[in-house]
Amino acid sequence: MEPDQAQLKQTAPVYGVVTVLISAALATFALFLVVVAAELLPPRPQDPLWLLQAATGFVNTLTIPLAGVLFFHLAAALVPLKDMGEFWRTWASRVATVLALLFLLLLPLLGFATWRGITNVQSAVQQEVKIISSNADRVRAAIRKASSPKELQQFMSEQKGPRVNDEEFDIPLATLKKAKLLLVDQVQTNYTNQIPGVKSRRYYPIFMQTLRTSALALAGSAGFAALAWNPKRQQSLLRTFLESGAKIKSRITSKFKSLGPVPDQEGRNSRLMEKSRNTLNQSMLRNKREMEQRERQQRTNFEKLQKAREKQQKKDLERQKKLNSDRNG
């Protein structure tokens, strides 16, 4: 009994530390849920800014659940009983796995929020352009309808168009209308150009916040995956993901390599190409020799023909000389 009592006295402080660590872990998870709930309420899932705010709330409190998982692992390492240690390590791994998947799901959520935000901005821009065009068309119709400068002044006052001063009454109506229509076109163009689009610097901070939140969400997912221990494989969930990614990459690479020629076939193709080049070179050399032989034959025939002509010319000359001598005699 005395050894058991001594062992209990030795393990009692350890159990106290383990209890404190587990209580701290549970408190961190409770704090995490409260902080995130405060960011999510009231829910507005159709609002892209609310989605971005929700994702930002998760990543800003990343260290709170991370500390809770670390407290669970530390408690599992300190607990004297092996079964109890495995129990808390399993719980820590399960919580880390859930959190890793949760932070990983923030990436498509941010992608959807970005797409929805861009769509909303484009719709708002199109709506404003439509309103500006409608107002400008109404003012143009009023300008064309006016039959006198006085009536034009009245119409512009009603439609809130370009002002027509009394001094402009002396200007011909056609010239005055043309000037006011040109002014309406300029005002419409200026208002349209002032509408902030998606590429406007007005939305630059939102895009930067989205990139920051995406990077932190990916880092948080990797961190929790590293703390999720798989006892069967004796490795972390992150290591499992990396090995799976490496296998998928290897399969894709081998698949692409299988589409190309295998090494034996590649060597065979190389030999066939070399043989084809040799055959082509031999054929070109043979054609060259045949051309040279034909050229030599042509030169020989030309020389023979030249000699025959010279011989015939000599005979004709001698015959002519003989005829001339006979006539003189």
**Which has the higher per-residue pLDDT, 43 or 198?**
43
- Looking at this protein, which amino acid is placed at residue 11? T
**SS3 assignment, position 236:** strand
The upper half-sphere exposure of residue 233, i.e. CA atoms within 13 Å in the direction of its Cβ, equals 11
Lowest mean pLDDT among 61-70, 166-175, 209-218: 166-175
What is the C-alpha separation between 227 and 239, in angstroms, rounded? Answer: 10
* % of the chain surpassing 90 pLDDT: 0
What is the C-alpha separation between 176 and 171, in angstroms, rounded? Answer: 6
**Which has the higher per-residue pLDDT, 238 or 163?**
163
DSSP state letter for 230:
E
- Would you place residue 16 in the very low, low, confident or very high pLDDT band (cuts 50, 70, 90)? confident
Task: Please tell me the pTM assigned to this model.
Answer: 0.58
| Per-residue pLDDT, 234 | 63
Enter the tokens of residue 137: 């068309």
* Location of structure tokens 């070179």: 281
The dihedral built from the CA positions of residue 159, 160, 161 and 167, taken in this order, carries a sign that is positive
Give the mean pLDDT of the chain: 78
| Per-residue pLDDT, 226 | 83
Closest CA to 182 of 155, 166, 162, 167: 162
Enter the tokens of residue 292: 């040279």
Enter the tokens of residue 96: 């880390």
- What region does 200 belong to: left with phi over 0, alpha with psi -120 to 50, or beta? beta
- Looking at this protein, which amino acid is placed at residue 237? L
- Looking at this protein, which amino acid is placed at residue 42? P
Backbone angles phi, psi at 235, to 5 degrees: -155, 165
Q: 59 near 216, Cβ under 8 Å?
A: yes
